[in-house]
Amino acid sequence: MKGPSYGMVLDTRTCVGCSACVIACKTENDVPDGVTRNWIFTEVSGTYPDLSMSIRSERCNHCENAPCVAVCPTGASYYGAGGTVQVDADKCTGCKACIAACPYGARFVDPRTDTVDKCTFCLHRLENGTPTTACQEICPTQSIYFGDLNDPESDVSRLLASRASYTLLPDAGTRPKHFFLR
């Protein structure tokens, strides 16, 4: 039996970009002042009044072919449970090669430890028996879904099967596991 492959799906149709996900992530994960593990991106196209807009809550894409893992000289960046991309702070020297390599700007230096930090998909919660990420749990519009992409019955799999979706910078060859529903 195949192990789990954790991924995330964001519904751009309902996301209002309120940033509850950003704040909940900060308090859940004790993220230091001045940095965040997730953020809102607003894309506007057209000319007044013929406009369209897409709003996305974004974070680490937990790529299957992650340049940050490939470039890390110490093995601090690694593929963890469910194929997620994680950072082992004990091995991180703060060289920032991964920050330069990530095409999504998902990583930052934690000023308290001088090591690199980013979204973990809240795997500590999963370990403690909570099957949701903090951003998913707080989201007032229920736009964030986390789950096992290998389980055809999971919310993420069923949404991806039924709705059109895209990933960010598909040409970068990173094979993100964070999907956005159109």
Q: Work out which of 61, 77, 143, 157 binds another protein, going by CB under 8 A.
A: 143
What b/e readout covers 37-56, taking b as 16+ CB neighbours within 10 angstroms?
A: bbbbeeeeeeeeeeeeeebb
Scan residues 65-124 and list those touching another protein (CB under 8 A). 78, 80-82, 86, 88-89, 120, 123-124
Q: Is 55 in the site for another protein (CB under 8 A)?
A: yes
Q: Work out which of 107, 148, 179, 180 binds another protein, going by CB under 8 A.
A: 148
Select the span of 9-17, 93-101, 103-111, 164-172 touching another protein (CB under 8 A). Answer: 9-17
Closest to another protein by CB, 102 vs 119, is: 119
Give the β-pairing of 85-87 and 77-79.
antiparallel
Q: Is 162 in the site for another protein (CB under 8 A)?
A: no
Closest to another protein by CB, 104 vs 146, is: 146
The number of angstroms, rounded, from the C-alpha of 48 to the middle of its chain's C-alpha atoms is 32
- What are the backbone dihedrals phi and psi of residue 126, each rounded to the nearest 5 degrees, phi first? -60, -45
